[in-house]
Amino acid sequence: MQDSNTQNRTSEFDFRILMWDKMKMISEETSEAVKALRKREYGHSYTSSDDSCSKVSFLLYQTLCLSQLLPQLAKDRVGGKTLSQPLASGKEVVDLGAAWLNEVTQPKIFALAKKYGYETVVQTSKGDGIVEDTSGNIQRVAQDQLLNLSPATLQAMGMITSILETEAAKLDLRDLPISPFDKLTVSDFLKQKGAVEDAYTYFETIVKGLLGIDAIELSLFFYLDYIQSGGSLGELMSERSDGAQYQRLRQGMQSIFRGMAGDLQPGSLFLESPVSHIQHENSSTCTVTTQKGKISFVSLTGVVSFSYDTSVEADGQYSITCFIVGGTGRKWSVLSPTKRRQTVLNQITAMVGDEHGHRVYETEEIIEDEWIKEQWRKGAPSPVMGPNLLNKYADVLRAPCGSLHFVGTETAYEWKGYMDGAISAGARGAGEVIDALRKSAAR
């Protein structure tokens, strides 16, 4: 049962549905012919997602006072896969991209939030969850209550969770072994362990929620590495004080990177400048060519796989963020805008039940963002690997190539796929460039 405060909030809810289409990121991106190109020469260059780029630029500028540092971002905004969108009222902000942080387990991104004076709000975790199983049955589940599933299904879920946690905990993220798990997809593993129907779909929904793809597309070894990078599967899924979804920023996550960009030398940051070509001139120079009370639910069958209550009561902003992911999301993406929204509203109506369902169609505002359709993103939250790739390339993911240095949340050791991972990767890349420049200057 929900507490009385949660019940009251629910009955007065203004449903605003926020779409975050976390689709599969592809590493090799193509672009149309370049109409206008700019060329600049650098002693050292780096490639990254925008969030890591901001950190690299910030650290290099602070450490070396490089007036010639000219970071280029492909998009017209800073912040990588953060996107903080003002509502129509203009008084509140909601996040359509990366949205959560944790002051204890993700200290780097939290420190930046505090540096710029932004306020954190704790993710709402009180009240019931609503779960739709593979048969279409809908049940309300109180906190710490087990799902109403068969004993065999619950046993299989517990066994598989234990194996994933145990195998992930064995990994040394800075010295990955060659693993037979890289030959398997997560789907292969689940089927080998006897996961069927609800158990299989439950674990696939977790994969879709964390990485935006289906279990059949993901290397088991990469998944274990990802789990370990976030501490544990439990922490990655949690909204509690040790969890990845514990806190949000009242001003929106993108505000951090706007603050970092503001600390750079005026005129040194170039937006809408995607890199199209990098050419090594000599051992120290390369030419870079650019273009210019909780209402949340999990569904094992619906188009929305899961949602979060992302309200900020202090601002009178009440919203639900819905995640439409993997193969389900790709099918939903080709529908007309009207059909896309109607499909989501219909599902939420069925999930919340007769008492409050009619209020769903009184939604005040709907904002949707499809990351897979962004030219320089191609999905979210970060690049992933299918089978037989991590064994091959684990030792070169972060290795410099001549004067090129690679950063981005996917290259982080801890919290890959998260903003904290992006910040730590940026710091690593900046350190590499600083050391290289100092050695060059000492010659």
CA angle 66, 70, 71 (to 5 degrees): 115
* 3-state SS class at 277: strand
- Mean pLDDT value across the chain: 78
The answer to whether residues 94 and 254 touch, using CB atoms and an 8 Å cutoff, is no
Average pLDDT of the segment spanning 140-146? 76
pLDDT band of residue 105 (cuts 50, 70, 90) is very high
- Cα–Cα distance, 130 to 351 (Å, whole number): 7
pLDDT band of residue 78 (cuts 50, 70, 90) is low
Average pLDDT of the segment spanning 127-147? 81
Cβ-based burial of 336 (10 A; exposed 0-12, middle 13-18, buried ≥19): exposed
* Total number of residues shown for the chain: 443
Given this model, what pLDDT does residue 23 score?
A: 23
- pLDDT > 90 fraction of the chain, expressed in percent and rounded: 33
* 3-state SS class at 177: coil
Residue located via tokens 């048969």: 135
Among candidate residues 329, 316, 419, 331, the one with its CA nearest the CA of residue 369: 329
Residue set of the binding site: 275, 323, 410
Average pLDDT of the segment spanning 329-337? 90
Q: What is the largest CA-CA distance in the chain?
A: 75
CB atoms within 10 A of CB 51: 31
Residue set of the binding site for substrate: 323
Average pLDDT of the segment spanning 234-239? 92
Domains of the chain by residue range: 4-442
Range of 17-21, 185-189, 286-290, 348-352 with top mean pLDDT: 185-189
The answer to whether residues 69 and 61 touch, using CB atoms and an 8 Å cutoff, is yes
Given this model, what pLDDT does residue 82 score?
A: 81
Given this model, what pLDDT does residue 338 score?
A: 92
What are 185-222's pLDDT values in tens digits? 999 999 999 998 889 999 999 999 899 899 999 999 99
Instruction: Look at residue 11 and tell me whether its pLDDT is greater than 50.
Output: no
Residue located via tokens 């992933």: 384
Cβ-based burial of 290 (10 A; exposed 0-12, middle 13-18, buried ≥19): buried
Instruction: Look at residue 152 and tell me whether its pLDDT is greater than 80.
Output: yes
SS3 of the chain: helix, strand, coil, percent, to 5: 40, 20, 45
- Cα–Cα distance, 410 to 422 (Å, whole number): 8
Residue located via tokens 């088991």: 220
Among candidate residues 321, 334, 330, 336, the one with its CA nearest the CA of residue 367: 321
Please state whether 396 falls in left (phi above 0), alpha (psi between -120 and 50) or beta. Answer: alpha
- Cα–Cα distance, 318 to 239 (Å, whole number): 18
The answer to whether residues 197 and 236 touch, using CB atoms and an 8 Å cutoff, is no
Instruction: Look at residue 93 and tell me whether its pLDDT is greater than 70.
Output: yes
CA angle 177, 182, 184 (to 5 degrees): 150
Given this model, what pLDDT does residue 236 score?
A: 94
Instruction: Look at residue 116 and tell me whether its pLDDT is greater than 70.
Output: yes
- Cα–Cα distance, 105 to 98 (Å, whole number): 16
pTM: 0.77
Instruction: Look at residue 35 and tell me whether its pLDDT is greater than 80.
Output: no
Instruction: Look at residue 56 and tell me whether its pLDDT is greater than 60.
Output: no
Instruction: Look at residue 172 and tell me whether its pLDDT is greater than 50.
Output: yes
- Cα–Cα distance, 424 to 51 (Å, whole number): 10
Task: Name the fold adopted by 4-442.
Answer: FAD/NAD(P)-binding domain (3.50.50)
Given this model, what pLDDT does residue 44 score?
A: 46
Given this model, what pLDDT does residue 75 score?
A: 60
Residue set of the binding site for FAD: 275, 410
Instruction: Look at residue 31 and tell me whether its pLDDT is greater than 80.
Output: no
DSSP state of 75: S
Cβ-based burial of 266 (10 A; exposed 0-12, middle 13-18, buried ≥19): exposed
Cα–Cα distances in angstroms (integers) from residue 304 to residues 19, 87, 186, 321, in the given order: 9, 22, 21, 10
Please state whether 60 falls in left (phi above 0), alpha (psi between -120 and 50) or beta. Answer: alpha
